[in-house]
């Protein structure tokens, strides 16, 4: 059976390479088979594990007699009904404490971090403990004096170090044979095997799905996960004959090296696709001649399937589509189109009419755009304007205002969380009290643009269109509303422009920023430069964007389908093994 299993594993390494988490599942399968005695063949000439246990017990009694370790307390007997699976002949189930001379966690030096020194004895914490070994980056140091006071937490070569608290619980490292002195923190426990020859098998056992299940199902502590010494001592360990342990470890090492190769190859393949795609997209965006543009686009079409088997490339394609659109490179210009200046003139006439009829105040004139504010030259027929040249901008209702003496109604309202890039997330809609006579001022109308004021850097200026999904509905003061002056204006073009990298760059530069947060005010939004194409071209661009975004949706679905198929095939192979 083990030989057949190993052959089956070798045969399906390519399937593990294809599935997104295939290599990780393969690692888990290798360790599971190893702990069940199914990875290598048993040899009837091997000295059974029972003899190994006798030798370990003899050595343990010697260490007790020499007072090098304390006398062990009575361990509970293994209940055969609790055992998770049957072991091969020659193996034994054993309590972990029978195999070790020490299981003990570290401690915090007196003074905590104040006890750390620039140079001294390494003080290993959970961030230094990784499954593939110790990591020296971010290691702390303690003085020789502190080290001597913490003698019980001293690490020795060939120890196993196991993280027993926090998010990294279960990570386990082997201390190298040539390791020098060190101590461990209270978040790390030392496991010291009586027979050091078994330590590599025990290491792999603790990393196996079986070992990790022991750790994760036996935690203690309410606010922070933790594993107690008492619980750890009682772990039920499947112990093979020593000679078989050596064969198992050697086989695991070889197969894990293959897994490392697979992960490296896949990472290199995916990175190559991303790098090539980034280069060709940059060529598209920076092409000054139509031939350069055509060459780059031809390369994409020729290698379409390979380039867009990576999800990151599909996301970058979406960004590039918007970028090309707002630069006037997505659809051809038509010289017969009425130029954008005519649309701007019609908007100005509408404003004058409303002022004349007393329906609005004379708008404050916006400063003319300066040359340094214009990121690139407009195509023929297009025109650079400021955002409030073409829309009415309104701030939303402020939460917690005093409404004494007013007739109050409760209405649903939109928050920053509801406004995503290009769509609204209406799964959670909150309500707010508002004076009845203010409803008209804050109520949303179909086709309104909703623009976020701030949050983390990527949230600033997120724009979506209101489609009257809820009526009536208002918006909070952290969400701006922009409303077109004319029915014939294309709000979809404005939404796509505001979600493009050009507008995002403006908001990033104009916004007030702290360490993790950014925000824009109404003045900055009013002054945002907007490139306005002829109205007919706006419609053509929006149609083309929608078609290409639908293609991107299809690519994402293809990737999901491929991942699902690969995962299903791999799961079937694992079940067969």
Per-residue pLDDT tens over the stretch 526-562: 999 999 999 999 999 999 999 999 989 998 898 888 7
Please tell me the number of Cα atoms within 13 Å of 247 on its side-chain side: 16
110 and 228 fall within a common domain: yes
On whether residue 328 sits in a domain, the answer given is yes
Question: Could you tell me which residues come within 8 angstroms of residue 545 by beta carbon, excluding any fewer than 6 positions away?
Answer: 321, 322, 325, 330, 496
Predicted local distance difference test score (pLDDT) of residue 570: 66
User: Are the CB atoms for 409 and 436 separated by under 8 Å?
Assistant: yes
- Mark which of 498, 513, 533 sits at the end of a domain: 533
Beta carbons of 432 and 408 less than 8 angstroms apart: no
What pLDDT does 93 receive?
Answer: 95
Q: Which of 161, 93, 101, 156 is nearest to 133 (CA)?
A: 161
Do 404 and 309 lie in one domain? The reply is no
Report the percent of the chain where pLDDT is more than 90: 54
Q: Which residue has the tokens 């290409």?
A: 548
Q: Same domain, yes or no, for 85 and 184?
A: yes
Distance of alpha carbon 408 from alpha carbon 396, whole angstroms: 17
Strand locations in 449-570 (E):
449-452, 454-456, 463-465, 474-475, 479-484, 512-513, 517-519, 529-532
For residues 512 and 378, membership in a common domain is answered with yes
Query: How many whole angstroms separate alpha carbon 543 and alpha carbon 552?
Result: 14
- The neighbouring-strand residues paired with 463 are 451
Partners of residue 433 on adjacent β-strands: 410
Please report, for the domain that includes residue 374, its CATH number: 3.90.220.20
pLDDT band, residue 301 (cuts 50/70/90): confident
Q: pTM score, two decimals?
A: 0.71
Residues 405 and 316 placed together within one structural domain of the fold: no
Instruction: Give yes or no: residues 520 and 546 share one domain.
Output: no
Same-domain status, 81 and 134:
yes
Is 42 among the domain residues? no
Q: What is the arithmetic mean of pLDDT over 181-195?
A: 94
Same domain flag for 368 and 516? yes
Mean pLDDT of the 173-184 span: 92
Do residues 524 and 510 lie in contact, with contact meaning Cβ atoms separated by under 8 Å? yes
Going across the sheet that includes 512-513, the strands are 454-456, 517-519, 512-513
- Indicate the helix (H) or strand (E) that contains 276: helix 242-286
Give the pair of three-digit tokens for residue 257. 């090296």
Sign of CA dihedral 263, 265, 267, 273: negative
What pLDDT shows up at residue 494? Answer: 96
Tokens 């045969």: give the residue: 11
Of 8-22, 103-117, 158-172, 481-495, the range with the lowest mean pLDDT is 8-22
pLDDT value of position 391:
95
Both 422 and 510 in a single domain? yes
For the chain, count helices (H), then strands (E): 18, 25
In this structure, the number of other CB atoms found within 10 A of the CB of residue 360 comes to: 12
Q: Do residues 403 and 327 share a domain?
A: no
Token pair for 526: 């009013």
pLDDT by residue (tens digit) across 499-511?
A: 999 999 999 888 8
Could you check whether the bond before residue 506 is cis, i.e. omega within 30 degrees of 0?
no
Is residue 218 included in any domain, yes or no?
Answer: yes
Give the separation between CA 53 and CA 99, rounded to whole angstroms: 8
- CA-based nearest residue to 350, from 337, 368, 363: 363
DSSP code of residue 165: B
Which residues form the domain of 450?
Answer: 340-533
pLDDT digits (tens, 9 = 90+) for 42-66: 999 999 999 999 999 999 999 988 8
On whether both 6 and 139 belong to a single domain, the answer is: no
pLDDT at 16 over 70: no
Give the Cα separation of 497 and 492 in Å (integer): 9
Q: How many domains does the chain have?
A: 3
Asked which of 240, 271, 298 is the last residue of a domain, the reply is: 240
Do 475 and 413 touch, CB atoms closer than 8 A?
A: yes
| First-to-last C-alpha distance (Å) of the chain | 10
pLDDT of residue 406: 80
Q: What is the mean pLDDT of the chain?
A: 88
Per the domain annotation, does 72 fall within a domain? yes
Q: What mean pLDDT comes out for the span 270-284?
A: 87
Q: Report yes or no: 435 and 414 within 8 Å, Cβ to Cβ.
A: no
- Regarding whether 273 and 155 lie in a shared domain, the answer is no
- Any domain includes 246: no
pLDDT tens-place string over residues 412-467: 999 999 999 999 999 999 999 898 888 889 999 999 999 999 877 677 899 999 99
Answer yes or no: is 36 within a domain: no
- How far is Cα 413 from Cα 434, in angstroms, rounded to an integer? 10
256 part of a folded domain: no
Q: Which long-range contacts (CB under 8 A, 24 or more apart) does 280-286 make?
A: 281/316, 281/317, 281/320, 284/320, 284/324, 284/329, 285/320, 285/323, 285/324, 285/327
124: in domain: yes
């Amino acid at each position: 059976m083990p030989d057949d299993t190993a052959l089956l594993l070798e045969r399906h390494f390519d399937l593990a390479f294809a599935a997104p988490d295939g290599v990780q599942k393969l690692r888990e399968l290798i360790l599971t088979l190893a702990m069940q005695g199914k990875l290598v063949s048993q040899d009837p000439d091997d000295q059974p594990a029972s003899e190994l246990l006798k030798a370990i017990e003899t050595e343990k009694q010697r260490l007790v007699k020499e007072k090098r370790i304390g006398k062990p307390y009575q361990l509970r007997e293994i209940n055969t009904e609790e055992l998770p699976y049957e072991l091969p002949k020659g193996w034994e189930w054993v309590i972990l404490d029978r195999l070790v001379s020490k299981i003990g966690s570290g401690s915090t030096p007196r003074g905590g971090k104040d006890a750390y020194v620039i140079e001294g004895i390494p003080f290993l914490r959970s961030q230094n403990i990784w499954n593939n070994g110790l990591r020296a980056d971010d290691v702390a140091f303690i003085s020789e004096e502190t080290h001597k006071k913490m003698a019980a937490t001293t690490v020795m070569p060939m120890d196993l170090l196991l993280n027993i608290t926090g998010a990294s619980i279960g990570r386990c490292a082997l201390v190298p044979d040539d390791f020098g002195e060190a101590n461990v923190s209270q978040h790390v426990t030392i496991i010291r095997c009586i027979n050091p020859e078994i330590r590599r098998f025990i290491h792999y056992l603790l990393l196996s799905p079986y070992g990790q299940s022991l750790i994760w199902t036996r935690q203690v502590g309410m606010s922070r996960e933790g594993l107690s010494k008492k619980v750890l001592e009682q772990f039920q360990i499947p112990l093979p004959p020593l000679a078989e342990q050596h064969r198992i470890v050697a086989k695991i090492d070889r197969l894990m090296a293959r897994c490392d190769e697979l992960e490296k190859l896949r990472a290199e393949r995916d990175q190559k696709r991303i790098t090539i795609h980034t280069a060709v997209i940059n060529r598209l965006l920076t092409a000054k001649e139509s031939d350069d543009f055509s060459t780059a686009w031809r390369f994409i079409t020729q290698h379409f399937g390979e380039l867009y088997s990576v999800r990151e490339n599909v996301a970058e394609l979406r960004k590039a589509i918007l970028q090309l659109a707002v630069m006037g490179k997505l659809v051809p210009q038509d010289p017969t189109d009425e130029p954008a200046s005519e649309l701007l003139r019609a908007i100005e006439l509408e404003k004058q009419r409303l002022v004349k009829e007393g329906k609005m105040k004379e708008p404050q004139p916006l400063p003319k755009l300066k040359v340094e504010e214009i990121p690139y030259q407009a195509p023929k027929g297009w025109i650079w304007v400021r955002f409030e040249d073409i829309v009415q901008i309104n701030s939303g209702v402020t939460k917690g205002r005093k409404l004494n003496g007013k007739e109050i109604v409760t209405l649903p309202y939109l928050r920053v969380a509801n406004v995503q890039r290009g769509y609204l997330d209406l799964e959670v809609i909150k309500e707010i009290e508002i004076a009845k006579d203010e409803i008209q001022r804050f109520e949303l109308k179909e086709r309104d643009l909703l623009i976020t004021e701030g949050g983390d850097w990527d949230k600033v200026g997120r724009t979506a269109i209101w489609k009257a999904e809820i009526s009536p509905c208002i918006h909070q003061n952290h969400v701006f509303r922009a409303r077109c002056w004319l029915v014939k204006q294309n709000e979809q073009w404005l939404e796509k422009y505001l979600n493009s990298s050009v507008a995002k760059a403006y908001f990033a530069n104009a916004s007030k920023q702290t360490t993790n947060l950014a925000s824009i005010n109404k003045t900055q939004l009013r002054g945002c430069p907007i490139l306005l194409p002829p109205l007919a071209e706006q419609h053509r661009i929006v149609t083309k964007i929608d078609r290409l975004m639908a293609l991107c949706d299809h690519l994402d679905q293809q990737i999901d389908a491929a991942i699902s198929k690969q995962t299903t095939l791999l799961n079937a192979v694992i079940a067969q093994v």
